[in-house]
Amino acid sequence: MKTSKLALLKKYVTVIILILIVAYFGISDKKFMTVMNWISILRQVSMLGIISVGMGCCMLVGDIDLSCGVIEGFGGVICVLLLANAGLPTGLGFILTLILCACVGTLTGFIVVKTGMPALIGTLGMRYIIYGSAYLLSGGTPVYGLTDFQKKIGQGSIGALPIPVFILFVFFILGYILLNKTYIGRYMFAIGSNAESTRLSGINVDRVRIFCFAFSSFSAGVAALIMMGRNSSGQPNAGNGFEMNVITACVVGGVSAMGGTFSIINLAVGVLIVGVLTNGMTILGINDYWQTVITGVVLIAAVGFDFYQKTHTKKVKVDES
């Protein structure tokens, strides 16, 4: 009975937290509940949500990708060079950028998986390589030359809906289909639950893990295009440190740090919690340093609850047996 109650709380805790946070900020300042502010929140979390889908897949199989943040800067620089310097058509430049970002992720996954090194170390090393490469390619300065049409991916709207928000919605739908309607999604859950048993059942665990790293970098590449459009340039330092926000959103959204658990709906709630917290604290004029402290507290609380829930569940099962 206790286990079922804890599982029920685990299932809806993020929704309850989001409702409480929204209620608090809504009561504290009337500007928070305006339509324009909510559109602003969705625009702000668009890149966070897109990258979180890719990061969530890595965490689902028990890995982590610390290079996803700097891909934003790297991809933006690459895309501007392809469009402005090489003169490629907009669509082709976008596609080649995404392919290159996915290839970088594939290389990262191959190194991590085939060497057997911890993903934390492997992706940290690749993070430095990608970050340095962005500066080498750009000459250490932002690169410009985008047309107004090319900037629309980060600045334009479809009706009242900003294009970045539209892309976010599409990406969540694709993530849901990948996880719940494809065989590779089922393999991810199996690997996250028990990698060795999955391997013994005949599934190529290494290939699935490499795919997760490639998809994570592809997701970051999509965010890179949005960041590039928003900044009207390729900024080599864009996204530096952003991976911490992504990890926070994933963990708050119920993606287990130990693998095996991932829900797109819960992830969307987690992304909103991070966005609402940031937006609400800014509206209330809370000091940036306190915002950082509060974000850290939220992360520790989310991870602590996850570990407690899994440890407690195992303990109850042992006691019952």
pLDDT per residue as tens digits for the range 33-63: 999 999 999 999 999 999 999 999 999 999 9
Closest to 264 measured CA to CA, from 169, 125, 183: 169
Task: Tell me the domains of the chain and their CATH numbers.
Answer: 2-310 (1.10.3470)
pLDDT at 313 over 60: no
HEC per residue, 27-74: HHCHHHHCHHHHHHHHHHHHHHHHHHHHHHHHHHCCCCCCCHHHHHHH
- Do residues 74 and 220 touch, judged by C-beta distance below 8 A? no
State the average pLDDT over residues 190-213. Answer: 94
pLDDT of 160 reads 85
pLDDT 10s digits, 243-296: 989 999 998 888 887 888 899 999 999 999 999 999 999 998 988 889 889 888
SS3 of residue 253 by DSSP: coil
pLDDT 10s digits, 59-116: 999 999 999 999 999 999 999 999 999 999 999 999 999 999 999 999 999 999 999 9
pLDDT of 298 reads 81
Q: How far apart are CA 256 and CA 316, in angstroms?
A: 19
pLDDT of 145 reads 93
Per-residue DSSP letter, 235:
-
pLDDT of 6 reads 58
Distances (CA, A) of 40 to 63, 79, 295: 32, 26, 20
Q: How far apart are CA 228 and CA 233, in angstroms?
A: 5
pLDDT 10s digits, 122-180: 999 999 999 999 999 999 999 999 999 999 999 999 988 999 999 999 999 999 999 99
Closest to 59 measured CA to CA, from 250, 264, 307, 311: 250
pLDDT of 312 reads 62
pLDDT of 7 reads 61
Residues shown for the chain? 321
State the average pLDDT over residues 5-34. Answer: 82
Give strand ranges (E) for 81-141.
Answer: none
- Do residues 229 and 98 touch, judged by C-beta distance below 8 A? no
Amino acid at 75: G
The torsion defined by the Cα of 271, 274, 279 and 285, in degrees rounded to 10, comes to 180
pLDDT of 179 reads 94
pLDDT of 314 reads 54
